[in-house]
Structure 1
Amino acid sequence: MAWLPFCLLPLVVSTGLCAPPVLTQPPSASASPGASVKLTCTLSREHSNYNIGWYQQRAGQAPRYIMYLKSDGSHTKGDGIPDRFSGSSSGADRYLTISPLRSEDEAEYLCGLGYSTGGIFQGFHSDSDKGEVGLKPPSLCLLLPGDSGTCSLSLSRC
């Protein structure tokens, strides 16, 4: 009898155990320099124990690794990431807190994870380049005194 990949078994498929993870980020956040902001990345319920990475992407630049955030709230930050950046977790939610905000923090913040099934590794993240499956990730907009604008972006999921 030929070996069948684990995910092809009807019982497993029907229980959703092989469903890929989904990461969702809410609309953008607006804050003033000196304030605190808490950004959220929510994992699909069946993947609520997964660890993620947080990334910062400034306009015209490659994403910068911020931290690896575990489901228990512990985290490891990338080189040169200041103490103003911290992470925490609650259930399926993974948080990135920046306090106090500085003008250079204005950027897009993306969450992502690695996922393996049947020996195949796939990366899942909130992605602004896949219009059919993911929308633009949230931006962090800093409102300076006298600014009246706001930023409003759609929900993002992989």
Structure 2
Amino acid sequence: MSLLLWVSGICGDIMLTQSPSSVAVSEGEKVSINCKASQNLFGSNSKKNRLAWYQQKAGQSPKLLIYWGSTRHTGVPDRFVGTGSETDFTLTISSVQAEDMGDYYCLQDHTSPPTVLQPPTKTSSENLTSCSHYTQTWTCTLPSSA
């Protein structure tokens, strides 16, 4: 069984570049998604990396997976691991499950508001067609640093 995860970038005052742009994996395999920021995301006041990872499944709102670069949100399975600091971050799914298929975003909240570059439109999980992009501002709430 093959799964396709689409990885999208985010732009704003701080540019985030994700790679790879898409990845096809089999259930049970490990997959890593990288996110590189154009500026340091370590907050001098909060003493936290201001980087979050979101998952979005078709027809659903984005779901927070990881905040502060490496802290799993409540209820997120431990197969999702965030690592990295300052400008280089990675989301690793240690054993991909069928329910993990979807779009994954890294999002910075070091500057506000974050602006999201939406993923390309795809017709199926195995056939990517021509892409259309548009920007949309999301309001995202992360736990306070207090």
Task: Specify the TM-score bucket, using the shorter chain as the normaliser.
Answer: 0.5 to 0.7
* Structure 1 residue 69: Cα displacement: 3.4
* Structure 1 residue 153: Cα displacement: 8.9
Relative to the length of structure 1, the TM-score reads 0.60
Partner of 2:60: 61
Secondary structure at 1:123 match in 2:
coil
The 2-side partners of 1:97 and 1:43 are apart by 17
Specify every segment of 5 or more residues in structure 2 that has no aligned partner in the other structure, as ranges: 1-11, 43-48, 136-146
* Structure 1 residue 151: Cα displacement: 5.2
Q: Does 1:84 align with 2:83?
A: no
Which has the larger Rg? 1
Letter in 2 for 1:31: V
Higher fraction of helix: 1
Matches within 5 A, 1:68-147: 68-70=67-69, 75-89=70-84, 92-116=87-111, 122-128=112-118, 136=119
Q: Does 1:28 align with 2:34?
A: no
* Identity across the alignment (%): 32
CA RMSD of aligned residues (A): 3.0
* Structure 1 residue 126: Cα displacement: 3.9
The 2-side partners of 1:47 and 1:153 are apart by 33
- How many pairs align? 113
After superposition, give the CA deviation of every residue in 1:31-67 in whole Å (9 maximum; x if it has no partner).
10000000111100x3254520000000000000001
Name segments (4+ residues, structure 1) moved above 2 Å.
46-51, 123-127, 149-154
Specify every segment of 5 or more residues in structure 1 that has no aligned partner in the other structure, as ranges: 1-18, 117-121, 129-135, 143-148
